[in-house]
Amino acid sequence: MVPRRKSKVSPPPPSCPLKLCMSFLGGAWTPNIIWYLSGGPRRFTELKNDLVGISAKMLTQRLRHLVEIGVVDRHEQPTSPPTVEYSLTEIGCELKPAIEAIVRVGEKLKRLEKQG
C-alpha cells in the first residue's frame, strides 16, 4: 500500500479570496463584459452587440450585479433620450490581466486538445 502524503500547501482561509474571485469570474458572460469594457466605456446597446447571443435580460442582470459589487460604474448622461454608459472601476481594471492570463492558458489547452 502506498502511504498517503500530507499536503504541503496550507488550507485556504475560511473566506478564501481565490474562491470568491473564481466564482465571480466563472459566471456566464461576466469575463466577456469585463473584456469589452476594458477597451473603454460602452453603452448598453453597444455591449449587447459585442456579446453575440446574450439576451437583454441577462446583460441587464450581469451589469446590475457588476455595478452592485463595485466592478463597473454606471453613468447616466443627460441626453434626450437618456443614455447610460458603463465603464470599469479601478478594481474592475485589475481583473483584466487575470482574464488575459486565463485566455492564454485556454489557447494553450486548445492547442494541446487538437494535438491529442
What string of DSSP letters covers the chain?
Answer: -PPPPPPSSPPPPTT-HHHHHHHHHTSTTHHHHHHHHTTS-EEHHHHHHHSTT--HHHHHHHHHHHHHTTSEEEEEE--SS-EEEEEE-HHHHHHHHHHHHHHHHHHHHHHHHHH-
What is the pLDDT tens value at each position of the chain, 116 positions in all? 888 888 888 776 777 777 777 777 777 799 999 999 999 999 999 999 999 999 999 999 999 999 999 999 999 988 888 899 999 999 999 999 988 898 899 899 999 988 87
Please state the pTM of the whole predicted model. 0.78
CATH 1.10.10.10 fits 18-115, yes or no: yes
Looking at residue 54, what is its pLDDT?
96
Looking at residue 58, what is its pLDDT?
95
**Domain-wise residue ranges, the chain:** 18-115
